[in-house]
Amino acid sequence: MMTHGWQGGAAWLLLLLVGLWSTPASAVDGSSMKIYAVKEGQITYHLTGSQAGTETFYFTEYGNRTRRETHASTRMMGITQETDTVILTDGPWIYALDLAKSEATKRKNPMFASLAEQGDLDRFKDGEALMRALGGTMTGKDKVLGHVCDMWELKQIMTTTCVTAEWLAVWTKSGMGGMEIQRTATAIKIGSVPAGVTSLPAGVRIVEAANPMEQLRQFQQQGPDRSSTRKRRGQPLTQEEMREAEKMREQFQGKGLNQILEQTRKMQEQMQRGGTPTP
């Protein structure tokens, strides 16, 4: 089943901020770029740290469509919660698939949208261009399962990753807001994947989700007073909370990549101090 509450908010935040470099880069007009140098593939990861378990990542159309299945337990703020999620991406859209409900929650990647609106995607002809745009520094080489990879340090988003010549991540270490997660590949298959694996199943109902910044607000409320927050789980945000969430959303609109990264850095620092993100 899908997870909710603080764990869901943390997962989305990491997906948006840490996983940006591997987000499909289809342009808004429907054109696309090759995120990976191979058309299709499948990678299985072992998860350690704040999240322990396994993850399977499928990609098609050179990375413009992906599917990420995670089965793990997540520890944060003294709470352990089971994670069983399926996340699909299709261009600038992200879908959280709930097979039990035959439902998919659709979200728009706010960082992707901001880049696309400003035409910045034209600069990202390959993975290295995006890595360097994110302030990444190549620090050395490694070898996993026979695949040589380049190690990149991305200080602004507190991430280190090692990618192959095809721009596939064979391991990634990320830390933010008290969470530290490492993904290490245990199996890599380059080539065809099961038909339709990166597409939404037929008959799935699409639900438009609230802006991810609202979920960040909900996540931030789960600080020292977790017990009272758990009692409110499933209840709508108050008008004041909605206004603050809208303010946070507006911070990302109309900004270029460097501005987004700077705002992200400030948010990370405030999260580490246990505060609420501010402009």
Catalogue all structural domains in the chain, each as residue range(s) with its CATH number.
5-210 (2.50.20.10)
Distance spanning both ends of the chain, measured CA to CA: 35
Q: How far is the C-alpha of 268 from the C-alpha of 175, rounded, in Å? A: 10
* Amino acid letter, 263: Q
What does the pLDDT profile of the chain (279 residues) look like in tens digits? 344 333 333 333 444 433 444 443 334 434 456 778 899 999 999 999 988 999 999 999 988 899 999 999 988 777 888 888 999 988 788 899 998 899 999 988 655 555 555 455 555 555 677 777 778 899 999 999 999 999 999 887 788 999 998 889 999 998 876 778 899 999 999 999 999 999 999 999 999 886 655 656 666 666 555 444 444 444 555 555 555 554 454 444 444 445 555 555 555 555 555 554 444
Q: How far is the C-alpha of 147 from the C-alpha of 99, rounded, in Å? A: 34
Q: Tokens in use for 265?
A: 């850095």
User: DSSP state, 1?
Assistant: -
Q: Tokens in use for 12?
A: 């989305």
Q: From the CB of residue 51, how many other CB atoms can be counted at a distance below 10 Å?
A: 23
* Amino acid letter, 60: T
| DSSP string computed for 74-125 | EEETTEEEEEEEEEEEETTEEEEEETTTTEEEEEE-HHHHHHHHTTGGGG-S
Residue where the block lists tokens 């993850």: 55
**Beta strands 205-208 and 103-108, pairing class:** parallel
User: DSSP state, 167?
Assistant: -
